[in-house]
Each structure stands twice: as structure tokens, then as C-alpha cells.
A and B are shown apart, each in its own frame.
Chain A
Amino acid sequence: MESKHVHQQIAAMRQSFFDEEVLDEIFSQLEQLEDQNNPNFVEEVFTMYFRDSTTLLETIEQAMKTVSITLAKMDRILHQLKGSSASVGANKVLNEINKTRQVLEKGNLEGTKAGIWEMRKEYDSLKAKLEPYFQLKQANSVPKEK
């Protein structure tokens, strides 16, 4: 039913995520959790992830605009983001978070802010890549092939 082309496209998209290291093997683990009862589990997870992370990022960005932002506050949010990003396999985002936290631990406020901006870029990029992927996948009900 589905055109082979679409499936191939979806598969190619997926593979590119790994090739570009946008996602890591944790993502594969999540995919393995999908089954008949839960065919869109991964998408659901990412929906949740994007929703919460967007909120966190907005919080931190708003805070950065104020004078009162503290390293501690930023660290708390980064820690939260780290946990969820690691759990969904968002590799590049995670890397940026880790880099930023290292800078933060040295007490470099400005460096931390810069790190957060970088992380935000990766996050937006991830989102931009995955959302069409899931839409396509959903629309074509591609059965899990693996």
C-alpha cells in the first residue's frame, strides 16, 4: 500500500540521524520498546520531550536576560535537560549540555550562557529533523522493520 518510496525515504531519514550523530543508540533502545500495542511509542516520547524541554529552555533563556540569573539556577535546569535528553537519545543536544555544564562548573557565567545558546541550536535542529520524520512515519504506518 504505501509506496516503497516513502518507506525508503523514512528509512533514509532515520539513518541520517545516526550518521550525523544527532541520535544515539538510546534511540534504538526506545524503538525496541515499540510493539503492537504501542506502535507510536517513540513519537509519544519525543512529543513529551519536546514539550517539556521547550518550556525549560524558555525558562532558562528568559532568566538569562535578567540580571539575577545564577549559575545554580541554570545548573538545575541543565540537569533536568540532561536527564531527559540522555533518555531519548538526543546525542548532540546532550553533548552541548555536558559542555555547558563543565563551563558552568568553572564559574563562567558568560561562557555558560553561550553554551546554552549552542545547545538550543542543536535542540531546534533536532526538533526540525524529527518532527517531519514522525509525521511521515505516522502517515505511512510503516511497520517497524528491524
Chain B
Amino acid sequence: MNSSSGKSYMSTASSSVLWKAGGDVVADQFPAGLRVLVVDDDPTCLMILEKMLKSCQYNVTKCNRAETALSMLRENRNGFDIVISDVHMPDMDGFKLLEHIGLEMDLPVIMMSADDGKNVVMKGVTHGACDYLIKPVRIEALKNIWQHVVRKRKNEWKDFEQSGSVEEGDRQPKQSEDADYSSSANEGNWKSSKRRKDDEDENDERDDTSTLKKPRVVWSVELHQQFVAAVNQLGIEKAVPKKILELMNVPGLTRENVASHLQKYRLYLRRLSGVSQHPSNLNNSFMNPQDATFGPLDLQALAATGQLPAQSLATLQAAGLGRSTAKSGIPMPLVDQRNIFSFENPKLRFGEAQQHVNNNKQMNLLHGIPTTMEPKQLAGLHHTAQSMGNMNMPVLSHGSQSSQNNPLLMQMAQPQARGQMLNDSTVGLAPRLLSPMGQPMLSNGMATNVSTRNGVPENIRAPSYNPVSQTSSMLNFPMNHTSELPGNSFPLVSTPGISSLAPKVAFREDVNSEIKGSVGFMPSYDIFNDLNQHKPQNWELQNVGMMFNTSQHSNSLQGNLDHTQSVLVQQGFASGQNRNSTVISKAMFSAGDSTGHMNAQNGNQHLNSLLVDNTVRVKSERVADAAPANLYPDHFGQEDLMSALLKQQDVIALAENNDFDFDGYSIDNIPV
């Protein structure tokens, strides 16, 4: 897509002209061939829309269920250019779908409805829809939908451009020349983005991403953590894509990627600050692991608000107090893990915008939780973590498991305490751990008892272990603390559904190599995935387990955390249920970030590659569903997670519904 230099986008205005001049055969054809996915449960409308879109010469795929549409999009991330969806659908709210898509695939989404009330249209706006059509939809309205695709790409480029740097200057001239470039790039995307990419390669590493059709960068938990860490380091005000990119030091990542991600992140933070009730609380809480209790988190308040389930509160408090016990109640304040983790956390960047916790208090909790928990928990977890090291991960995922997860997380956190844990493993595990869950639990060394269920508030919201997402968010923030999160990072924990987080994975005492099968962590990742799809099986611990191995090897997971991190990462991926591996990676990144060093970079990178390579994505989508908040639909998948997390009820419901298969993970089994 960004056809090579992205510059092209600049001249969108004249792009039509340019297109023609673009020398690219497809240029003239644009917007013909635009790949549209239309979703509507009303068969009559669906039939009509399909016909209209076809008559506009678009490439139409129709779908009558939101879940199906989401699967299609996930399976073929780059297979569509734009989505048109109805607002009222029986299986999923159109806005939820919108959020998912925005976070996971970052595609422009047009909402439509027979309802033209101002409120619903406004909802479309706040959820990130790029347009809103009233039924009956006229063909004239459909003729111009391509503009949203072009505009999006152009904006991405703009971010890129603005991130400023000498390069930009160099590119400037190119841009003008490539005015048509972009347009053709656009078309290229639809037709043959590859072509364009080749041309652009010279420009810079962005090539991969610069083309319009650039392959979407999956913001895994780990990657996101790195991002958040970098942003925190620079300070949100001063964080510019170029510097962030440098700090992150992730090969293959372009400034453009960072720029667009940053944009989303900022929106996300803004949204959180607007919504979060304890923005400051959380920040403090997180940041100060000082007391075991989540004090700062104001769990009580959270509980009161309903964000934090009563039992979670208890757990959290317990956790705070007795990190060691971690078990059961997973003191992890995680309770809201769901919330906290809801991926919003990732965005939240504890460091800076804790406030964004808007996801509803829940988020705050998470934020806070990880922090508080972490330091202390981490310590305790250390031991456990070590063994758990890898195990930590599992803890996260199972939101329900939360308690269980916590131990794991804690474990992970512990390693973190070591400081490395998270870092090394890069595995966002840390992030995952964030989910408060990890903390309390880990203290015992993965008290496999992580009965986090209590504590783990739904982080995971949806069957999928969104916890991962949560962790990511959590991780991000706590990550700053770096050590704190380690255990907590398992946002995954939140997956409510994941009651058995304690993946059988048995976190294995030795995490390091054991992780292989242990996938225990998977839960967390899966959570994310599952969240969306309720696929309990998502846990695919196996996958995770395997992942761990790799990560472990890669990172010499000593620090259990590392392992866990990697594990997390892996898990996230493994759980692939598809969900958003990004979620997990995000979590992971968070974890990594928190540890302050992404040194795990190597590990992370390893993970990154793993993450990137793995399609396993922790689907944070689930989370999104559950999450009431629309985190920033287009931002992160994490947002979805966050939102998912926020929606405790949803999550819980999801968790319950999804019967997470994580049975294997019962934290109790984790050999600590």
C-alpha cells in the first residue's frame, strides 16, 4: 500500500488524475476492484447491497453474521479493503464488530442502519466508524466509499511523514513525484500491491509497510509493550514515531507503523482518561508496588463501582496483602483484570496515562494491580516465578482462573522482579501478568492454585483469554515499573472463562525448558483469542507450550519471567485461536516494557518474530466483545481486550459460555 513511499498519499486529491498517469494499469481502474465486506443480518438488504456494490465494480463479499465476518477478516487480514456493517445484528452488536475490526485489522468500517437517530450516529463516530449510512442506502452513497480507504492510508502516511526526520525531507520531493504513486499504490493494493512495494523498497525499510497494501503489522502484546515502554521513556508529549521506532529497535517495523499505532494509542489514552474514574489512582497504584495490597487501586472503590467483583476485590486485597498466598483469590486485584487488562491497559501506558483506564474502573484496577502487585508479588513470585517462570503466563489467560493465573503471573512477575523476566522473554507475558492476577498468585510459586478465578476478574472477558490483552495493558503500565509487572503481566489471567488457567501446563517449575508443553500460559493468550471466539480450546496450550520452548531457548529464559514472557508471547500466539496474537503480543510487549528493558529484545525479537510469524494471535477480539468499552476500536486489538475486560459481565458470561478448555491449566496443577 503505501506504495513505497507513502508520499503518494499526499496527493490524494489529485490522485485520480495521477492514477491515470500513474503508469500503473490498475490506476485507471481504481476504485474498481475495491474489496468490500458487507455484513447485515437482513437478507433483503444484504442482497440489495451486494448488487449495488457489484454495480460499482467492487469486489463484494457478503456475510449475514458478524462472527462469520470477523472470522473471515481474521483469516484473511489483508483480503479486504473496507467493511460495511449494519448496526443491529443478532449475534453481535455492530459497534463491537467495528471495534474489533479497528483494533485487529485496522480497516475502515462504515456503519449503516435504518436508524438515523443522532445518538446512534454519534456512537458510530466514537467507536471509530469512518462513515454512517442510513437505510435505504442509495447507490450513490456506495460509489464513494473508496475515499475512506484512501484517506486512511493517507493519514497513515501522514503520521509517518510527520514523525519527522531527515528522511522525510528526502522523501518530500519524492512524494510529489509519486503523487500518482500513492494512488497507484492504492490501486496496487487492490490489485497488486506487491508491485508497488518493490518500487518502494529503496526508500527505506518502510517499504514493507509503506505500500498501501502494506502488510499489516500485528501489534502483538510484546510489540506493544515495547512501544509503550518507548513512549513512556520519551514522554507522551515528546514521543514521536521516529524516536519511538529507534527505541523499540524492532527490525522490520517502520516509522509509519509506529506513527499510526501512536495515533491510535493517543486516542485510546484520551478515551481512557475521559472514562476512567480513577485515572490517577491507577497510575499511582500501578506505579507503586509499594504495598502488596492494591491499595492504590482502590479496589474497594472499584468493587463498589461494580467493576471489581466483590470476590475479586477480596482476592485482590488478599493478594495485595499476602502476595505469597496468591493463590486463590488471586489477590490479584486482577479482579478487574478484565478491565484492567482489557487491553486498554496496553494503551494506557501506565506511565503516562493511567487515566485512560477509562475502561471503567476495571481498567484502573488492572493498572493498579499490576503495579502494586508486581513489586511485591514479584518478589514472592520470584521463587514461584522461577519455576513458573514460564508458567506465569497461564495464569493470565484464564481470567477466571485468575486466581490461578495469578500465581503464574506472579511467577512471571517474579522473574520480572528479577528484572529480567519480562524483559527477556519479551514475551509479553509480563504484560499478561499484569493482570493482577499474576501477582498474588505467583507468590507461591505459581501456586497453581491460582484460583484466580476470583481475583481474575474477567480480564479475559471473553472466553478467550483476553486476559492477555489485559495483561498487555497492564503490562504496559506496570511495565514501566518493570519489575512489577512480571507477574502481573498476565493479563491473560483475566479471561474469565479461563477458569482453569492454571494450565495444566504446570508451569513447570522449570519453566525454562519445560515450558514446552506447559503452555500453561496459554490461557492467557488464549484468553484473548477466546475472548472473541469463546473458543475455549483456544488455549491451545500446546501451541503455547511450544512457543515457550522457543522463547526459552531464545532467551535463555532464566528469569522465569523471561520465560514467561516468551511463554506468554508464545502462548498468545499459540492460543492463536486466532485471536489476536496482537493482543498477546501486546501484553507481552507490555511486559517487556515494564521491565524496562526490552532487552528481552532479543528474546522479544525472538518472540516478535514468533509473534509475527505466528498467526496465533491471541484474539483480543473476544475481549472486545466483552469489553464494554470501545477502547479505541481502531487502535489496538488490545482495546478490544480492554473493552472486553471492562465488560466484566460480558466477559464473565463469555467465560462461562466458552467453557474454556483450559482445564489443563488449572493452576493447581502447576508444579511449583
Contacts and interface: CB of A to CB of B under 8 A. Distances in A.
A77 to B, nearest CB: 11
Given A33-B52, A33-B55, A26 B44 contact: no
Interface string B44-80: 1101100110010000000000000000000000000
A52 B114 contact: no
Given A33-B52, A52-B42, A79-B114, A86 B47 contact: no
A86 B45 CA distance: 9
A87 interface: yes
Given A48-B43, A89-B136, A83 B48 contact: no
Interface in A46-76: 48-49, 52, 76
B613 interface: no
A88 B44 CA distance: 8
B115 interface: yes
A75 B344 CA distance: 34
A33 B49 CA distance: 10
Contacts of B136: 26, 86-89
Contacts of A48: 43-44, 47
Contacts of B51: 33, 38, 41
Interface in B182-211: none
Main SS of chain A's interface residues? helix
Nearest to A34: B51
B139 A44 contact: no
Contacts of A52: 42-44
Given A44-B47, A45-B47, A86 B114 contact: yes
Contacts of B238: none
A108 interface: no
Given A29-B139, A87-B137, A89-B136, A82 B114 contact: yes
B89 to A, nearest CB: 10
A52 B138 CA distance: 21
A30 B88 CA distance: 23
B115 A87 contact: no
**Interface size band for A:** 20 to 34
Given A33-B51, A33-B55, A41-B51, A83 B138 contact: no
Among B44, B48, B88, find the residue whose CB has the most chain A CB atoms closer than 10 A: B44
Contacts of A32: 139
A144 to B, nearest CB: 14
A80 interface: yes
Contacts of A26: 136, 138
A49 to B, nearest CB: 4
A30 B135 contact: no
A102 to B, nearest CB: 12
Nearest to A49: B44
Given A33-B55, A79-B114, A79-B115, A45 B48 contact: yes
A84 B45 contact: yes
Contacts of A83: 42, 45, 86, 113-114, 135
Nearest to A46: B44
Interface in B16-57: 42-45, 47-48, 51-52, 55
Among A26, A41, A84, A87, find the residue whose CB has the most chain B CB atoms closer than 10 A: A87
Contacts of B55: 33
A84 to B, nearest CB: 4
A32 B138 CA distance: 12
Interface in A1-59: 26, 29-30, 32-33, 38, 41, 44-45, 48-49, 52
B138 A29 contact: yes
A33 B137 CA distance: 13
Nearest to A78: B114
A45 B88 CA distance: 21
Given A33-B52, A45-B47, A84 B115 contact: no
Nearest to A50: B44
Nearest to A48: B44
B86 to A, nearest CB: 8
Given A33-B55, A41-B51, A82-B114, A87 B44 contact: yes
18 contacts: A30-B48, A33-B48, A33-B52, A33-B55, A33-B139, A45-B44, A45-B47, A48-B44, A76-B88, A82-B135, A84-B42, A84-B45, A87-B45, A87-B48, A87-B135, A87-B137, A88-B44, A88-B136
Given A33-B139, A87-B48, 16 more contacts: A26-B136, A26-B138, A29-B138, A33-B55, A38-B51, A45-B48, A48-B43, A52-B44, A80-B42, A80-B88, A83-B42, A87-B42, A87-B135, A88-B44, A88-B48, A88-B136
The 7 closest A-B pairs by CB, nearest first: A83-B114, A86-B136, A84-B44, A82-B114, A49-B44, A87-B136, A83-B135
